[in-house]
Structure formats: structure tokens, C-alpha cells
Structure 1
Amino acid sequence: MSDPTPHHVGLTVADLDRAVDFYAETFDLDLAAEFAVGGEAFADAVAVDGAAADFAHLVAGGEGDGNETIVELVAYDPEGEPTPDPELNRPGAVHLGLSVDDVEAFHRGLDDDVETLSEPRTTESGTTVLFVVDPEGNLIEVLDA
């Protein structure tokens, strides 16, 4: 078996266009691909009867050096029930982490309608963090590079 390597981070969304716009505008991620997947093999693989999905791949970082991370946004048909509030202390909670050169400057540059959990905070480890909430309720941790 070969060693696993990171490929993508996936987030399920209800409105794919709105999510793509948010990540492109808020985090300056580039849209790399859009595609749809369906059929029996896909439905079996995701364990959802009759499932099909529309996908968008956005690229974060790396600038072509092989260190890119793909942020995969997925809108399913049929759509499931939303998950409960994404409190980070819940077992099974997930979040996307993105680093920036200056968290404070990033925060000041956010559009007024972008929700955050708090102002940027420097933790006792010395890392400055800010949690942003996307339009679907997914959490994105923004931290110093």
C-alpha cells in the first residue's frame, strides 16, 4: 500500500453557487473545476439511496508548487437534514483551517455580512485565530501563517 497523501477537504452545502461565491470572495480561492457525479456506484459509495451531487473544487495556497489544498464543495440530491449547530466541542465537529499572513488585517477586510464567532484572539500558544462561519454554517479557522 502506498502512503496516503492529502487530496482535499470536503464540505457539504445546500447552495453550491452561493458557497463558491463566498469562498472565492472571502478567501480569494480559485475555482479549479465543477462537475456532477451520480449513478449506482456513487450512491452505494456514499450510502445514500439514489444520490447524485454537484461538486466544485477550489484551490487554496501552493501557487502551483504541489502544496495546494483542494476545498471541495458538494451539493447532494437528495439533500439531507442540516447538522446541528457546529459547536467545536461536539464530538464529530469539523472545521476547515486556512492560514493568512495577518489575521487582524484579514478580519478588518471582511465584508460586514460575514459572520465570525469572535474577534481575532491570540491563544496561550501564541497563535492568533479567528473563526468565520460560511453561509451554510460551516466553520473556517483562520490562523497566522
Structure 2
Amino acid sequence: MQELQTHHVGIVVSDLDEAVSFYRDALGLSVADEFTLTEDGIGTAIGVDGATGEFVHLEACGDDGDDTRIELIEYDPAGDDCTAGAINQVGAKHVGFAVEDIEEFYENLPDEVEPVSEPQAIEIDTSILFFRDPEGNFVEVVEA
């Protein structure tokens, strides 16, 4: 199996502007990227039909020069309108890992790991895959 590299920690929020202000202004993180994903790119990947998401990536620089990326997401519809335990619930969190070849990673997943969907391309020129750990926490793998 491919070696995983830490990519990001994602947090679902109800007010993206307020959350960005907090992480940027109060904690000093810098905005690295902002983008929107439509239902074709994110809804099927997370298992919530019709969902779209507004994303902001923020970075905190470590002493060793490595950046830690925080991904803030505001989904539409928000989780209150969807199945309990869905990733678009406010307060939902996930950890993201990067691999060089997501298809190879997917093909080599152990049988007990059930992906939410197959790897799929999203509008920001990468592919993603979601599954849950044994405790039900979401794990994302992104092709880097």
C-alpha cells in the first residue's frame, strides 16, 4: 500500500466567513485557497446527493517549515436537512491524507474498508475518496 502523507484536517462550519475570521484573525493562520465544489464533484463523493460546498484552506507554519492545513467547509444543504451522521453536519470533522496514485490506493484497500464512493475527480483538478474508520469518523484521501 502507498505511504500516506498528512494533507489536512477538515471542519464543517455553519458560517464560513465567521470561521475564517476566527482562524485568520484570532489565531493568525493564513488563507491559502478558496473554492466551491458542486454536487458532481463533492455530493457523490461524500454520499449526500445534491450537496455543494464552499471551502477555505488555511495554513499554520510549523517550526520545521511544514505547513498544517485546516479545511473549513460550509455545505449546502447543511446537515440539518440530511441524514444524521452525514459529513455535511455542522461540527463534523475529517482527517485528510495525500497519496500519489488514488486508484492504486483504492484498489489496495483492505476488504473491511467500505468507501463512501469510488475515487472521483473534482473541479480543482484532483481526485478524492472518502471512507469511515472503525469509530465512524470520516477519512479523506486526495491525490497529490
**TM-score (norm: length of structure 2):** 0.53
Contact 2:10 2:72 in 1 (8 A): yes
Instruction: Report which of the two has the higher share of strand.
Output: 2
- Name the residue aligned to 1:115: none
- Describe the shift of the 1:57–1:41 C-alpha distance in structure 2 as closer, same or farther (beyond 3 A): closer
Aligned equivalents of 2:29 and 2:47: distance in 1?
30
**Correspondence for 1:73:** 72
Q: Give the letter aligned to residue 55 of structure 2.
A: F
State the structure with bigger RCO (CA 8 A, min sep 6), 1 or 2: 2
Give the equivalent residue in structure 1 for 2:106. none
Question: SS of the counterpart of 1:23?
Answer: helix
In 1, Cα distance between the equivalents of 2:68 and 2:24? 14
The ranges of structure 1 where at least 4 consecutive aligned residues each deviate by more than 2 angstroms after the TM superposition are 62-65, 93-96
Map 1:1-145 to 2 at 5 A: 1-62=1-62, 65=65, 67-81=66-80
Q: Structure 1 residues 56, 41: CA separation in 2 closer, same or farther (over 3 Å shift)? A: closer
What is the TM-score when the length of structure 1 is the normalising length?
0.52
Matched pairs, number: 86
CA distance in structure 2 between the aligned counterparts of 1:62 and 1:4, rounded to whole angstroms = 19
Q: Distance in 2 between matches of 1:73 and 1:95?
A: 11
Secondary structure of the structure 2 residue equivalent to 1:36: strand
Decide whether the 8 Å contact of 2:10 with 2:94 is kept in 1. no
User: Which structure: larger Rg?
Assistant: 1
Structure 1 distance, partners of 2:24, 2:71, is: 12
Within 2, Cα distance between the matches of 1:55 and 1:14? 12
Structure 1 unaligned blocks of 5 or more = 84-92, 97-145
Which string of whole-angstrom CA distances, capped at 9 and with x for unpartnered residues, describes residues 76-130 of structure 1?
00011399xxxxxxxxx9699xxxxxxxxxxxxxxxxxxxxxxxxxxxxxxxxxx
Q: CA RMSD in A?
A: 2.7
Q: Structure 1's 49 and 21: CA in aligned 2 closer, same or farther, altered over 3 A? A: same
Mapped partners of 1:71, 1:51: distance in 2 = 21
